[in-house]
Chains A and B, each alone.
Chain A
Amino acid sequence: MSEPIRFIFRGRRQELRGVSVQRTVLEWLREDARQTGTKEGCAEGDCGACTVVLAELPGLHTAPTTLAGTRGAQLSVRTVNACIALLPTLDGKALFTVEDLKALAGGGLHPVQQAMVEHHGSQCGFCTPGFVMSLFGVYQTNAQAPSRQALADALAGNLCRCTGYRPILDAGQAMFAPAKVDWDTAGLRAQLEALVRSDTFLYEHDGQRFWAPKSADALAEVFDAHPRARLLAGSTDVGLWVTKKLEALGDVVWVGGVGELKRVERSAERLTIGAAVALEDAYAALTALVPQLREYWLRFASPPIRHAGTLVGNVANGSPIGDSAPVLMALGAELALRKGSRRRTLRLDEFYVGYMKNRLEPGEWIEALSVPLPSPAWRFVAFKWSKRFDSDISAVAAGLAVKVEQGVVAEARLAFGGLAATVRRAAHAEAALVGQPWQEGAVRAAMAALTQDFNPLSDLRASDAARREVAANFLLKLWLQTRDQAPLSPAALSVWAART
């Protein structure tokens, strides 16, 4: 039976019925609640004017992220883009917008806001509520001012067209100077605990259903029973089908309510990432294993998108320009698939069969993804090529790994995105390497062989020729960085190295 969507807003419990399953949080805020502080700049999660903060109980499997509320309990506090978040996914959470901050600070401007005023961080002011909320996220999750670089990375999802950012970065550091505003979260925690559901949440409007199961078994069951339903995770892509394509999604099964799917587990052999693990947490775990991934992680979307979107969702979506698949293929990822109670595993490099097509059967879904723990024999790099460092879609992305034994390439996994209808490995280039000494000659041969592997398109992001050139140069960089004699440091090979 349909139940209302329940969440905490302005300190009170909201219970919503009679609104579309597809209504975005931003539409609800601006049009229904007439709370117009949160702005729409693009309605696709790329400008950050709609940034809001969601607070929730840290689940069984997710660590709390906030240092706030030392008098109360810890919470998970994260920024998301309200413009592509669907209203039913708020169920069980607390929504904070720019209008909440004065109240949290006791009526006057919050230190975040005060610092923005004093450092002239706003000009036209339209992006400002989004920046304030991103800075508020930083404020709540850091004990002291982060470095300027860390702040810039935290603000990668907020566009400002007026200031040139310097005053906003100044404000982000200065906001830690005054006495910290103590957010008493005890009351909020109690409110959130009262919203916890043990069984599947079903919300229905106008014949469209939204299921939020609470266990993997329940999810498997409902999706098996309704295989035509849309499986939804972070809505960072599906949200655009709603706001841009104006599509009807049909019934929706949401994975974000399943605590056990938010698990990241590390065994002696593998790292396993559940279906509902946010990109931010997944990349944190992967980067802990493979530190070379750090730059790539930062270039993947923006913090609010990484907070909402999931790694498994990015893989399942299957876009040829999805950034996760190349690195995961290079790392030898496997997928744990499930349909009802039936489970099987599939290697990621066997998963895609065509443009936006994969081997999932109706009612089947990816329960988890795992990668083997890297052995020292593997040499790994990941590169992305786009017009802008932050939050851009790759023209070429690459995850490149070679296993070198006694100076000879024993195995190679060279996976590329942006060069074909799917992310896939470069069979010819790999063949050119395997069995050869890990030396420049073999690398040059592999670079040449790439032309047999890919026949890329020219589009708004790059020409086919430039894509080929860069893909080949990525192989050269792999070698330069991992050769036995005088390997080059990232600082000698990347203009971004000094920053990360």
Chain B
Amino acid sequence: MTSHAKPTEAGPVLHVPVPHESAHLHVSGEATYTDDVAELSGTLHAALGLSSKAHAKVTRLDLEPVRAAPGVVGVFTAKDLPGRNDCGPVVQDDPILADGLVQFVGQPLFVVVATSHLLARKAARLAIVEYQDLPAVLTVQDAFEKGLAVIPPMRMVRGDAASALAKAPHLLEGEFVNGGQEHFYLEGQVATAALEENGGVWVHCSTQHPTEMQHHVAHALNVPSNQVHVECRRMGGGFGGKESQSGLFACVAALCAWKLKAPVKLRADRDDDFLITGKRHDFWTTFKLGYDESGRVLGAEATLVSKAGFSADLSGPVMSRALCHFDSGYALNDVRLTGFCAKTNTQSNTAFRGFGGPQGALAMEVAIDTIARRLGVDALDVRYRNLYGDQTGRFTPYGQEVPGDVLPRLLRQLEERSGYRARRAAIVTFNQGSAYLKKGLALTPVKFGISFNATHFNQAGALVHVYTDGSVLVNHGGTEMGQGLFTKVAQVVAHELGVPLAWVRSTATDTSKVANTSATAASSGSDLNGKAAQAAARAVRDRLVEFLAKREGVGAEVIRFEGGLVHVGPKALPFREVVGAAYHARVQLWSDGYYATPKIHWNRETLQGRPFFYFAYGAAVSEVLIDTLTGETRLLRADLLHEAGRSLNPAIDLGQIEGAFVQGVGWLTSEELVWNSASGKLLTHSPSTYKIPTANDCPLELNVALFDDANPEDTIHRSKAVGEPPFLLAFSAFLAIRDAVAATGPARCAPKLDAPATPEAVLRALAALRLMPR
């Protein structure tokens, strides 16, 4: 654990582990989430009526029993929408309410509004719906074979893969399947809408993307954007699940409020949330890798097929990022990648921490592991052999240069401090002496590209207000979902104005304050909004400097802002006196700030360019114990080393790293989504059946450290984004399980283990090894 000095009132506010700005509210129950906001008088409650068929025409929708139910005030369908029936973020194929055709079990058909949440839920179950079944496609393989896709296939090519494969001494052909993942944000989807005067609509919504909510609601109601006002103070978790998928809830709440001219809240029950919303994409990846005796990969071809679900949602961008991360940390100079977003009659899969990156890179890491096993060498050595560098190559399959040598240095450091080699030897000994329990070990790297692939999203705005008493208010386009963005931005502003952090207050993200914002996603929140807020604060400070320089007759260079004081040469003036005086001198004490990420460009047709401003790196070692009689696994120890550049807040960054790791371990072990193979209904639709990690799944020995290295790019105070990259650290746990399974098989065996490695999946892999010749 890295130790850091505790912040003090007058001390530095940057690069210090200050608590989350809302921590004292979280622990006392005083932090207000959307459902906690004091309800307006007369607030009504909505519930959605859901499809019970995976693919069908609706031949009868009798809503009379719903209307007649106690407490019901209104029932609405697609026909009641004044505007466009769509909440698709990229392609317009995502109906808010199904209109005659249902495309997955759980698709909303209608909404009922009643005087209470319970009465609305009861009424929603009373509809009489008749269907005419259509053929339903439920698996990614089935959809691929039928050529069903939500967008055209994508191709990323560099060099000549075919001849490289033909010339390579060894060929590995394989496939890897990973399951999806439910976000399981603890706060489910929720939106409240109310009318404002003159055609205005206010929506308080748990969302990572207020601007998109504003656009969807405006289109659905057929009003201009300036009539729609979307607000979000905080979310109880997002993880990507409230980037586009909050749209349906915002639109339905707004529709109900619009029709009834009353405040309406729509809060999905957890089971409904599972059934309605999309998840992390399952991927089915087939690959051919050519390699030599040293394990160097000479050529690669792969087809990545994702389970998009019934609509495009963000499946295209997710696939772009998957293709951009298939290289993991390795130079592939002759490579040909195909991406296919399969259309299935299931929930429309969406953004989830890593956004396709984990799925792309994991397939490669499994392949590298297999190559090492075939060659009979430690997988870590094959990894070193293939890392980007002067010997292997410096350009990604999409043509971006990978500068520097952070990853090899970071891997060596982790190998050292985790005692990897000695533990490897100890595990071999343990396994020889243990008949039924086996241990496994793996060290895996992370390289993750930072920026939205789509260049135009890489912009942000902020407002900084300095009031005449010296207190400061900051507002920006980013949303707070627990990741600590508001804390980091407040630190940046406090630093810029040289005031204690306690003087800076963050307020709800609000489309009427900063316009045309991007989703808080792609790990970019503090990179973008931190820079924008810095610009805004700096503009105010510059005006104060100009005012003081003139008043005091000094040069600007002798004026310094620190600890709530303004130092003018040897003189120290209280900040609040300075701003008071500046106000009277008619100096503007508030400002906007704007930032657009430099240097990046991306060609969506050729999938070439420099989509990422920089890369973030990390690595992890995991040690597991498995029970060969039950397939149960336990993570005994994990060592994580991850870089956050010059961390703005080491406590928050460590929290992101550990949290992402455990979330990733959940994805790859206990979290299994199961659909009924006949009806297409999601069977794991609540925490009783869908198992995310608990405190007992956090390894008893967990060593986490920041790899200290300033970002060579000019990011906010040389920090690096940290939201998504550490999710990939969890690969080490999965590959350690694979390692333990391999310990039961013949020499050089490579177990067939798909993700998640549930006890049953581990048993299957063990059984397959028992059939192999010794």
A residues whose Cβ falls under 8 Å from a Cβ of B: 27, 30-31, 34-44, 46-47, 49, 97-99, 101-102, 109, 112-113, 116-118, 120-129, 132, 148-149, 151-153, 155-156, 158-169, 244, 246, 383, 385-393, 395, 459-463, 466, 469-470, 473, 476-477, 480, 488, 492-496, 499
Q: Considering residues B183, B436, B625, which has the most beta carbons from chain A within 10 angstroms of its beta carbon? A: B436
CB of A389 within 8 A of CB of B697, answer yes
**A46 & B688 in contact (Cβ 8 Å cutoff):** yes
Complexed CA–CA distance, A36 and B692 (Å): 25
In the complex, the chain B residue whose C-beta lies closest to that of A391 is: B694
* Chain B residues closer than 8 Å to A34, beta-carbon distance: 38
Are B696 and A492 in contact, CB atoms less than 8 angstroms apart? no
The prevalent SS among residues of A at the interface is loop
In the bound complex, do residue B237 and residue A109 qualify as a contact, i.e. CB atoms below 8 Å apart? no
- Closest Cβ neighbor of B683 among chain A residues: A460
Kindly provide the distance from the CB of A27 to the nearest chain B CB, expressed in whole angstroms: 7
Residues of A contacting B697 in the complex (Cβ-Cβ under 8 angstroms): 165, 388-390
Residues of B within 8 A of A116 (CB): 23, 26-27
A476 to B550, CA, bound (A): 88
The listed residue (A125, A126, A159, A495) touching B632 by CB distance below 8 A is A495
B698 touches A166 (CB 8 A): yes
8 additional A-B residue pairs with CB within 8 Å, beyond A123-B483, A495-B626: A36-B32, A98-B28, A124-B481, A125-B482, A126-B237, A168-B695, A386-B759, A493-B437
Contact partners of B759 in chain A: CB under 8 A: 385-387, 466, 470
Which residues of A are found within 8 Å of B691, using beta-carbon distances? 386-388, 392
B663 at the interface (CB under 8 A from A): yes
Interface of B with A (CB < 8 Å)? 17, 19-20, 22-33, 35-36, 38, 116-118, 121-122, 125, 183-188, 234-239, 269-271, 434-437, 481-484, 625-627, 629-634, 651-652, 654-655, 658-663, 670, 672, 674, 683-684, 686-689, 691-698, 700, 702, 704, 758-760, 763-764, 767
Q: Is the CB of B698 within 8 A of A169?
A: yes
Least Cβ distance of B642 to chain A in Å? 13
Is the CB–CB distance between B19 and A118 below 8 Å?
yes
- Do residues A37 and B20 form an inter-chain contact, with CB atoms below 8 A? no
With the chains together, A132 CA to B28 CA distance in Å?
A: 8
Select one of B271, B629, B704 contacting A473, CB under 8 A.
B629
Query: Are B434 and A492 closer than 8 Å at their CB atoms?
Result: yes
**CB neighbours of A109 from chain B (8 A):** 24, 27-28
Q: Which of A44, A149, A388 contacts B270 (CB 8 A)?
A: A44
Pick the most buried of A124, A128, A167, A386: most chain B CB atoms within 10 A of its CB.
A124
Across-interface contacts of B689 in A (CB, < 8 A): 393, 460-461
Closest residue on chain A to residue B626 by CB atoms: A495
CB distance from B598 to the nearest CB of A (A): 30
Please report the C-alpha to C-alpha distance between residue A155 and residue B117 in the assembled complex, in whole angstroms. 30
Q: Which residues of B contact A395 (CB under 8 A)?
A: 760
The residues of A that contact B183 with a CB separation of less than 8 Å are: 161
Q: Which of chain A's residues have a CB closer than 8 A to the CB of B434? A: 492
Contact indicator B695/A156 (Cβ below 8 Å): yes
Bound-state CA distance A129–B24 (Å) is 11
Collect the chain A residues with CB atoms within 8 Å of residue B238's CB. Answer: 124
* Contact call B187/A387, Cβ cutoff below 8 A: no
Cα distance A153–B698 when bound, in Å? 12
Q: In the complex, which residues of chain B have a beta carbon less than 8 angstroms from the beta carbon of A391?
A: 694
Output the least CB separation between A364 and chain B (Å). Answer: 29
Query: How far in angstroms is the closest Cβ of chain A from B359?
Result: 20
| Chain B residues, Cβ within 8 Å of A42 | 270, 686-688
B236 touches A126 (CB 8 A): yes
The chain A residue with its CB closest to the CB of B439 is: A495
* Docked-complex contact A122 and B26, CB < 8 angstroms: yes
Kindly state the separation between the CA atoms of A494 and B767 in the bound complex, as whole angstroms.
Answer: 19
Asked, given contacts A44-B686, A109-B28, A161-B237, whether A166 binds B658 with beta carbons under 8 Å apart, the answer is yes
Closest partner residue, chain B, to A22 (CB atom): B118
User: Does the CB pair B688–A160 fall under 8 Å?
Assistant: no
Q: How far apart are A24's CB and chain B's nearest CB, in angstroms?
A: 10
Please judge, given known A-B contacts A36-B35, A113-B27, A152-B698, whether A163 and B686 are in contact too, CB under 8 Å. Answer: no
For this complex, 11 residue pairs linking A to B, each with C-beta atoms less than 8 Å apart, are A27-B118, A41-B186, A41-B270, A99-B28, A120-B655, A126-B482, A152-B694, A161-B183, A164-B660, A164-B698, A466-B763
Q: Are B694 and A156 in contact (CB under 8 A)?
A: yes
Most chain B CB atoms below 10 A, which of A34, A149, A164, A169: A164
Q: Are B30 and A499 in contact (CB under 8 A)?
A: no
The one of A37, A44, A158, A385 that contacts B695, using a Cβ cutoff of 8 Å: A158
Question: In the complex, are the beta carbons of A159 and B627 less than 8 A apart?
Answer: no
**Contact of B20 with A120 in the complex, beta carbons under 8 Å:** yes
Distance in angstroms from B201 CB to nearest chain A CB is 24
Counting chain A CB atoms within 10 Å of each CB, the highest count among B237, B686, B695 belongs to B695
Q: Which residues of B contact A39 (CB under 8 A)?
A: 33, 186-187, 236
